[in-house]
Structure 1
């Protein structure tokens, strides 16, 4: 039974000629720059945040193009008068830009440019965020994932302590950061281009024609992992004006949790959705249910996030651990060689070797129904694709545990367990995974935990509805209670 059902667990499914998972922003920024240098007609950047000052590469290049985002886009436009560059940024995100000292020079210039068009997207309910991250080039190539082209995202997979290149444009040192995205070509990229144009129309009222290009493009140096594979595109979008509520991402997350047989591997910035936690808890109660390994940051950044997201996480960890009768659940955070925490910003879910989902949506309420999000899903229908999906999961685990991918693959095969594999490579020094701390909650924490103030599930007045896909196709002897 396919987990990808248009209108339920995804918006559309399309073939990708080529597709790859890109781990950490050093690689993403490098490949994004390479792809933008190949643009002939259009570049569309859609994100939660965007900073013109960041460098996309940190070493010498054998081309004349600038390495910083703002000068690069200006250079591309000057070199090609047929190129149209459109940047769509969450309107409230501009407050972040001003707070960190970003110059308004490019913002003002691009608002009146004939080739580079910067728009602030306010087409959302009050306090909702535009969180999806898309880069679409010539409607031929698309990047979709969790990495914003902004301050604090750049890092290599080594996540070294005191990395000299990991600094803000103002020169401030920044901590280790783990993230991920995808690169896709072919009809699936065309569909992501359609989504980007739809977002632009909602925000601006302007309709953009699809780009026509005969030749195919792919970033230099990026290995192709998947060929001729079906891609499911799932969205979250809150009800707003004439736009109906869209909760495909929540549906596919719950479907993946419900369908996993042996392993459920998750990376997320948060663990704050009660609906997701209850679905995991239900599976852990089953005698033959799957192992669940969640990779989170050690803690959220900022006072409000600590009060809301971390407090919610404490309550939900307790809920899940109470249901974990067979010791099949872990929630861990990664540390680097110096045992400093690595901030996890990636949003990934892998069910067995069968389904890989990656995008912008976290395990919090906002991502399920209040912000705009976009995830892509690859579902395996042959052994070759299963091997590639498990390779992605093992690569992520190998990065976190500081060992070779082949060691992880062999250990999973030998032990038949992700959790025992983690235990095998756990050590008290160097890279590794640590148990997420569960602190005692104060009265104030209890008030903020799982509140609608910072992490609402739906816009005001929009009722929750369980998707018919979950009602009809994932019934068990004791049906999963999803609220």
Structure 2
């Protein structure tokens, strides 16, 4: 007979609060979550809180029922709620995100969710965390009466149905672009649990510099009308991760909860997660797999990560941990799968859920990934529920939640999963018996990566740290020795460049400089020196100055072609553009990455990604595709130390087609303007059509080459 076991959940060790939820439900996939949270927000009377890693005010809410008199997009919906209900305050707290995510997010969130909304929609960006950390909690609280937390943000690329159908026409982002299937879960609770999450929100708001309002008085019932509670009157654990920052000590309750839960498992550990890179969790799983009579472990992960950067980092770390787990699995109790949907290739289901189920005894879900960051560096919030020895209803819910998730991925019914788990000799045997080779099912995940990716990536402590890095350590790890120049020199270089740009801007305003650089005046000026020995040096000087003012390269080429004719103009433009590219490449190399980041902003990461292979093709692609202004590309290429030979020849190859096309087009246009006739117009039309067609073909070819080189999509947290 088994000895009685101590409870897993212990307040102060692996959870912050153990509190009562009068009602609780687990919402699986966005089709269930988003209509529920929209309904609760519509019933808000005093205060609504939204903590977000990402948020998009353009997100459409009309995939589910929305009150007829309210707008269908998130920002306008919150605006209308405050307009309609006097005294309602909505607080939106968004992580002050790294610039690497800028291209994936709504532009100017402070404007769209702050300035443009009702005065009682309060928006803040929260950067109160150590360097390298992030705020990853995803919480919505309405009047401290109902609260949601889990893996869902109120943002794009997340809504989906449990079917996760390939090509679902409803699954589109705010721009109307389709995105791959997305799987996640979210809790909804009320009672003391909701009040605890409201307290967490107010604490975050205050630490971000906001003024926390009074705790709202209980009034009304914002429980979503379409959600039947899974359980009533249960105790729920709220577990957190947050790093030490300011006067607040660190909290690692989520890590302790994972380790205690894994240690307590007897028969079956079921895991769904976006990542599997945590060193502590990996060691705990290794130890259980090595036991003779340890539990079966079934892990469901995405086939691969969504973005190029994550595939080169987190997928590599996942591959290393999977090798360790398989080496420890001497008794054949480990299975690692990914969800397969017919017709979805080359896309895959983005498994974003963060779920851990221990036997029929405990379930936890929330925002925390099984990564080192989520265990100690980022802010996270999970809820967990444990069944006592006599809690048959809670045990049935935990088993049912796990079986429902497995049934969704396997393409079978929940009853079939329950029957297989009861009749099969082991959980692994049950899952294997339900898997099919055709149709929707779970398929084995190998998880290997290329040897080159494996060699390049450093240790997990660098890519996926579990604690804040000391600034000196950060520099030591991330900055190459040749880039560790003195702060004085970097400051002087950067200040000199800024001063030069300021002087140019002032001269542009207070002198006739802007008139001198008008296209017609430049063309007349160059006409006088067409056959002068000074022609080429003058053209080069004009290109350098115009590039620093971020004047489009195409405009400069047009002026050169008009002044010197198509062929001499083409030659001069190529020489001047290449020398300008070389000069500004040198400026970027001298300034270094951080200084250029201050000038280039989010473009630095985008361009660095294009140049990841540091080859001729990468540079040539940037010259053909409209990724960033000419001078920005040059500065970034120098700052990230692209090999000069690749940079030079890639620039030359990439600029030749466009420069030639623009030169011929400009000459044809000038001929029509000087002597309008049908022949000239026909030639111009033909040249224009040829230039457009050629440009589109070259760009399509370049995009195809870039895609085959592994350029990825979005990153979700």
Q: Deviations over 1:139-163 (max 9, x none)?
A: 0100010011111001010101101
Query: CA 1:449–1:361 in 2, change beyond 3 Å: closer, same or farther?
Result: farther
- Aligned pair 1:297/2:302, yes or no? yes
Which residue, out of 2, 10, 15, partners 1:10? 15
Q: What corresponds to 2:413 in structure 1? A: 404
Q: Deviations over 1:113-164 (max 9, x none)?
A: 5300010001001121100100000001000100111110010101011011
Query: CA 1:62–1:299 in 2, change beyond 3 Å: closer, same or farther?
Result: same
Q: What corresponds to 2:355 in structure 1? A: 348
Which residue, out of 375, 379, 382, partners 1:368? 375
Q: What corresponds to 1:433 in structure 2? A: 442
Query: CA 1:60–1:88 in 2, change beyond 3 Å: closer, same or farther?
Result: closer
Cα distance in 2 for partners of 1:450, 1:386 equals 40
Moved more, 397-406 or 303-312: 303-312
- In the TM superposition, residue 453 of structure 1 has moved relative to its aligned partner by 3.3
- In the TM superposition, residue 38 of structure 1 has moved relative to its aligned partner by 0.8
Aligned partners of 2:41 and 2:222 also within 8 Å: no
Aligned partners of 1:350 and 1:356 also within 8 Å: yes
Cα distance in 2 for partners of 1:339, 1:415 equals 31
Q: Deviations over 1:442-482 (max 9, x none)?
A: 254244254333311111269xxxxxxxxxxxxxxxxxxxx
Aligned partners of 2:274 and 2:354 also within 8 Å: yes
Cα distance in 2 for partners of 1:312, 1:13 equals 34
Query: CA 1:129–1:337 in 2, change beyond 3 Å: closer, same or farther?
Result: same
Q: Deviations over 1:372-406 (max 9, x none)?
A: 00000000111111011000000000000111111
Q: What corresponds to 1:259 in structure 2? A: 264
Match of 2:312, SS? helix
Q: What corresponds to 2:115 in structure 1? A: 109
Query: CA 1:349–1:267 in 2, change beyond 3 Å: closer, same or farther?
Result: same
Moved more, 417-426 or 395-404: 417-426
Q: What corresponds to 1:143 in structure 2? A: 148
Cα distance in 1 for partners of 2:428, 2:316 equals 25
- In the TM superposition, residue 19 of structure 1 has moved relative to its aligned partner by 0.4
Match of 1:44, SS? strand
Cα distance in 2 for partners of 1:160, 1:347 equals 21
Q: What corresponds to 1:357 in structure 2? A: 364
- In the TM superposition, residue 92 of structure 1 has moved relative to its aligned partner by 1.3
- In the TM superposition, residue 339 of structure 1 has moved relative to its aligned partner by 5.2
Q: Deviations over 1:342-362 (max 9, x none)?
A: 110000000000000000000
Instruction: List structure 1 runs of 4+ shifted beyond 6 angstroms.
Output: none
Query: CA 1:116–1:61 in 2, change beyond 3 Å: closer, same or farther?
Result: closer
1:32-431 correspondence to structure 2 within 5 Å: 32-58=37-63, 61=66, 63-92=68-97, 96=101, 99-100=104-105, 102=107, 105-109=111-115, 113-338=118-343, 340=345, 341-381=348-388, 382-431=391-440
- In the TM superposition, residue 423 of structure 1 has moved relative to its aligned partner by 1.2
Cα distance in 1 for partners of 2:397, 2:310 equals 35
Match of 2:463, SS? coil
Unaligned runs of 5+ in 2: 1-5, 472-717
Q: What corresponds to 2:539 in structure 1? A: none
Name the structure, 1 or 2, with higher relative contact order (CA <8 Å, separation 6+).
1
Query: CA 1:388–1:100 in 2, change beyond 3 Å: closer, same or farther?
Result: closer
- In the TM superposition, residue 219 of structure 1 has moved relative to its aligned partner by 0.2
Moved more, 397-406 or 333-342: 333-342
- In the TM superposition, residue 422 of structure 1 has moved relative to its aligned partner by 1.7
Query: CA 1:310–1:440 in 2, change beyond 3 Å: closer, same or farther?
Result: closer
Aligned partners of 1:307 and 1:449 also within 8 Å: no
Cα distance in 2 for partners of 1:13, 1:197 equals 19
Q: Deviations over 1:252-288 (max 9, x none)?
A: 0010010000010011000111221111010011111
Match of 1:156, SS? coil
Q: What corresponds to 1:471 in structure 2? A: none
Query: CA 1:331–1:348 in 2, change beyond 3 Å: closer, same or farther?
Result: same
Query: CA 1:238–1:41 in 2, change beyond 3 Å: closer, same or farther?
Result: same
Query: CA 1:446–1:457 in 2, change beyond 3 Å: closer, same or farther?
Result: farther
Unaligned runs of 5+ in 1: 463-483
Aligned partners of 2:31 and 2:64 also within 8 Å: no
Cα distance in 1 for partners of 2:325, 2:337 equals 14
- What's the TM-score, normalizing by structure 1? 0.92
Structure ID, larger Rg: 2
Cα distance in 1 for partners of 2:352, 2:119 equals 35
User: Larger strand proportion, structure 1 or 2?
Assistant: 1
Aligned partners of 1:34 and 1:220 also within 8 Å: yes
Aligned partners of 1:308 and 1:449 also within 8 Å: no
- In the TM superposition, residue 335 of structure 1 has moved relative to its aligned partner by 1.5
Moved more, 253-262 or 421-430: 421-430
Aligned partners of 2:315 and 2:449 also within 8 Å: no
- In the TM superposition, residue 99 of structure 1 has moved relative to its aligned partner by 4.7
Aligned partners of 1:110 and 1:118 also within 8 Å: no
Aligned partners of 1:360 and 1:375 also within 8 Å: yes
Aligned partners of 2:134 and 2:379 also within 8 Å: yes
Cα distance in 1 for partners of 2:78, 2:121 equals 8
Cα distance in 2 for partners of 1:62, 1:303 equals 40
Aligned partners of 1:46 and 1:88 also within 8 Å: yes
- In the TM superposition, residue 425 of structure 1 has moved relative to its aligned partner by 1.7
| Matched residues, number | 461
Cα distance in 2 for partners of 1:264, 1:243 equals 34
Match of 1:453, SS? helix
- In the TM superposition, residue 106 of structure 1 has moved relative to its aligned partner by 1.7
